[in-house]
Amino acid sequence: MTAHSLGVEIACDGPDETSDCPGSAAVDRRFGSLTAVQVRADGRADGWTRHRRDGRYVDLCPNCKTAP
């Protein structure tokens, strides 16, 4: 039996530090995107952003990045 890496999933960190993403959003992985860098690039193409929050990076889906 051979094991293969399934890649990575980048999930939305929610509109703020106290709440989760209401849609439980995750970046849709494209065929051939296996690393976190590749998957984040896929997300940026779909409108995702990466911000600093409390000294760490967070990934925000298009809905949460515009939440008040």
Query: Three-class SS of residue 59?
Result: strand
In tens, the pLDDT along 13-60 reads 999 989 999 999 998 878 888 888 998 999 999 999 999 998 999 999
**64 pLDDT tier (thresholds 50, 70, 90):** very high
Is 3:51 a contact under the CB 8 Å cutoff? Answer: no
Residue 68 binned pLDDT confidence (cut-offs 50, 70, 90): low
Instruction: Give me the pLDDT at residue 4, please.
Output: 67
C-alpha torsion sign, points 9, 14, 15, 21: positive
